[in-house]
């Protein structure tokens, strides 16, 4: 057994371990937008596992077409991983934008309520001064 074959077996075991962790994370977060992004990451890791299997198979029995299939699997892994990470980024960015918008509307609502309270205070003061004037005119 050559060192290259042993190294590829170790890589295959590590990729299978990464696949098991990805599936466990997906089972935890399978709902909502975050779960959909993890679904793409898990499919990307499946492509990576397929690529490692093809690489080990190519070392055991060299077939020229395996190299092309390895490259296709590697490209699929990269594309799905990038798309999954982009979906996670867009999910968190969307939530942050919603949170900013919500706080902006909360600030507007607070300013409107404080303006209403000031108007109530002004009407109270005007009523109190009106009552004081009425009392003063009665006395005079």
Structure confidence at residue 1 (pLDDT): 63
**CA–CA separation, 133 and 140 (whole Å):** 10
pTM to 2 decimals? 0.58
Task: Return the percentage of the chain with pLDDT > 70, whole number.
Answer: 69
CA angle in degrees (0–180, nearest 5) for 75-92-99: 165
What would the pLDDT profile of 124-137 be if each residue is shown by its tens digit?
667 777 776 677 66
DSSP 8-state code for residue 2: -
pLDDT-derived band at 61, boundaries 50, 70, 90: confident
Structure confidence at residue 100 (pLDDT): 58
Residue 60 CB partners (closer than 8 Å, separation 6+): 5
What would the pLDDT profile of 80-122 be if each residue is shown by its tens digit?
888 988 888 887 776 666 665 566 666 666 777 666 666 666 6
Say yes or no to pLDDT of 140 above 60. no
- Across residues 44-59, what is the average pLDDT? 86
| Number of domain units in the chain | 1
**CA–CA separation, 37 and 64 (whole Å):** 34
Structural domain boundaries, residue 71: 3-139
Torsion sign over Cα 100, 106, 112, 118: negative
């Amino acid at each position: 057994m050559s060192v290259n074959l042993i190294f590829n077996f170790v890589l295959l075991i590590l990729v299978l371990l990464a696949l098991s962790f990805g599936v466990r994370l997906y089972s935890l977060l399978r709902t909502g937008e975050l779960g959909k992004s993890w679904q793409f990451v898990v499919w990307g890791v499946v492509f990576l596992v397929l690529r490692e299997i093809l690489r080990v198979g190519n070392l055991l029995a060299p077939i020229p077409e395996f190299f092309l299939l390895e490259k296709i699997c590697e490209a699929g892994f990269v594309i799905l991983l990038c798309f999954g990470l982009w979906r996670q980024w867009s999910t968190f960015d969307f939530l942050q934008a919603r949170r900013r918008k919500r706080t902006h509307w909360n600030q507007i609502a607070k300013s409107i309520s404080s303006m209403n309270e000031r108007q109530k205070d002004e009407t109270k003061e005007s009523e109190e001064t009106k009552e004081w004037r009425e009392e003063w005119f009665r006395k005079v």
